[in-house]
Chains A and B, each alone.
Chain A
Amino acid sequence: MFKLVNRGLFALLFSLFLLLAGCSSEESSSSEGSANNGNDEQTGTEQDTIKIGAVLPMTGGSAVFGEKFEQAYTLAIEEINEAGGVKGRMLELVIEDSQEKPDIGKTATEKLVADEEIMIMTGGRSSGVTLVQAQVAEENKVPYIIDHGTSDLATMSGYEYVFRMNPTSGMYVTALKDYLRKNPPEFIVHVNVDNAFGEALYEYGLKDFIAETGFGYEQLKYAAGELDLKPVMETAKSFNPDIVLMTAGDDNDATQLIKAAYEVDLNPKLFIGTGAGHSIIGFYEQAGELAETVLTAGPWHGDKNHPDYQKFFDKFTERYGHEPGEHEVEGYAVMYVIADVLERAENLDRESVRKAIEETDLYTVFGQVKFEDFDGYTNQNRAVTNIAQWINGKLVTVYPDEYAEQEIIFFPGWNR
């Protein structure tokens, strides 16, 4: 008995020691770092940067998106720093890995929050991590601008420190609903992903619309990441729809969907994706010819003819060897919003930064950014949504008419 308990105390102390060793080594390493900087180089280099925190999936199945944001952030920050930084200080990016898991994302956000030099946060990527990050930001009064996470709840919960630049899931289909009202379909089959994005898109975007218009509508769910989607498309075909609406969280799912539609010979008048997976170049790279004439309804990614956009496009493509898409535009734009906010902030503290965000009214490559309260949302940018179409490997805006570069081409049928 004594031996057992004795052993117990020993082990408890040992684990406690390990814990503290782990934690304090973290602290000491960072404080040593700053001390060195202060002594060896010119005094106060550490003071000269303004830190921006971002929680991103850098490992796991969504790491590809984390990398896209990292590239976009880095490019924007380099440009801003080359132009003299903000208030004479350089911007510094701190990325924490979330593994795309909300519980890991929570700890990662708290790590950023604990660093008092971090003035503002962005990132989040998936709906779940974004929600958790928003909660932690609100609790700890750290301003957070969401640049991609679409969960409607994050700007529906009355948070004061949480702002969102991109449209929510529910808002993704605003332009599409407009189009459908003007061109009523006979029957829509909605092949929907069972994750937060797909569910919120239906819940906040389509549900009331379908009830109100009385369009024929059938929702078929599939699991995110599922590879064999033939049965889903086979079922879709049995409804003989003229519109097949497809919601995919990433370009993988989007590609598997269209491949399955091809294999079962499903021929509607229009294939319409809802942004996300369908609106990034990865979709065309993976699906190739099958992606031709597929439409995508989602956020409008800025005016592609604007000189700022073209400058960004060229620079990004040259630097990273691939073209920027939805994620990169958002990431690049949000850094300019943040730089603008920090420039306007009265003092460099989190409270002043929050106040400055409220006053934002800035044109970026993502379009106009201004945070407002409307339709039950708070601090939400009224991002413009559109419908674009894949034509010869490029996304061409086809709706609404004011932004349209050309007319919608109907799906010609599979050439099998």
Chain B
Amino acid sequence: MLQTLFDGMMIGGIYAIIALGLTIIFGVMKVINMSHGDFVMIGMFVAYFLFKAIGLDPFLSMFVAVIVCFFIGFFLYKFFVEKAKKGRDENTLLVTAGSSIFLVNFMALPFLLGPNFLRMTGENLYWENKLWKIGGITFNASFLMGFIITGLLIVILHLFLTRTDTGLAIRAASQEQMAATIIGINVSRISALTFGLGAAFAGIAGCVLATTYPIYASIGSLFLVKAFVIVVLGGMGSIPGAAIGGLILGITESFGATYIPGGTGYRDVFGLILFLLILLYRPHGLFGKGV
């Protein structure tokens, strides 16, 4: 029982990192980013590539992945999403869905990921099948690290948003774009920055996952719906909401699949039902202030 709870929390911690990225993007510019999962894949690729090339530990590759994903996200916003925003709401959705097709098939080119299922393995990889036993509970070492990183990221993000000028500008832009423009905030630049930041979070999650999960071009789609679920669960744009929502989803899935008879085949249904209930009874999420 306790083991299942912790298993759920660990996986939920990683869901939370992915959802954090999605939620800040949504909070600031009300864009539903359909290519968010693909940034997780890019993060995984960076970790894999650096490990193969120079034996870099995935938790150090994270810093590179953050930069790579940030810039791809930044330019995706500048060149496409921002222009699509001038049209109807669904245009941004479709432009990101189009970019998802593009990114998946771009990464499937033979000199990048190719069609293969790759896996980080090697003598010098500390995290491969590494378990930490703490008080009778077994932890997947890299997921536990991921969990700690989630905590750190939330603190850093909070400090960034409340203590720095850029952070304050992001918050201003998320509340009232027009007013933000009037007081001299460059909303376009702030939006691009936020989009890149959101993508960078997905990249971090990719590095954590790279040690345990296979790495292939279309893996991102597996995380997309989960990230949506969490973002709505916690309230669109809410940072603590995304963190708690991630944990709730992870725990619900673990318990549902383990303890409900025949539940293994219906694993994802439990989270979705929870999602619907929240949507119906608290449409602004558990922590939403109203969007």
Contacts and interface: CB of A to CB of B under 8 A. Distances in A.
A–B proximity contact (CB within 8 A):
yes
B267 A252 contact: no
B45 to A, nearest CB: 15
Contacts of B268: 223
Nearest to B105: A59
Interface stretch (A78-86, A231-239, A300-308, A360-368): A231-239
Contacts of A66: 115
Contacts of A226: 267
Contact of A286 (B11, B105, B214, B265): B214
B160 interface: no
B115 A64 contact: yes
A208 interface: no
A256 B121 CA distance: 14
A62 to B, nearest CB: 8
B50 to A, nearest CB: 19
Contacts of B105: 59
Interface stretch (B22-30, B177-185, B252-260): B252-260
In this complex, the interface size class of chain A, counting residues with CB under 8 Å from chain B, is 35 or more
A227 B216 CA distance: 13
A251 B115 CA distance: 13
Interface string A205-226: 0000000000000001111011
B265 A231 contact: no
A263 B115 contact: no
Contacts, number: 88
A223 B121 contact: no
B119 interface: yes
Nearest to A221: B265
Contact of A64 (B3, B11, B117, B263): B117
B129 A285 contact: no
A225 B222 contact: yes
A355 interface: no
Nearest to A288: B121
Q: 3 tightest A-B contacts by CB?
A: A63-B115, A231-B257, A221-B265
9 contacts: A64-B117, A231-B4, A232-B257, A234-B3, A251-B117, A256-B213, A263-B138, A265-B138, A290-B129
Given A226-B267, A252-B117, 19 more contacts: A59-B108, A61-B217, A220-B264, A222-B267, A231-B7, A231-B253, A231-B263, A231-B264, A231-B267, A235-B258, A235-B264, A256-B213, A259-B129, A259-B212, A263-B138, A263-B140, A282-B117, A286-B117, A286-B121
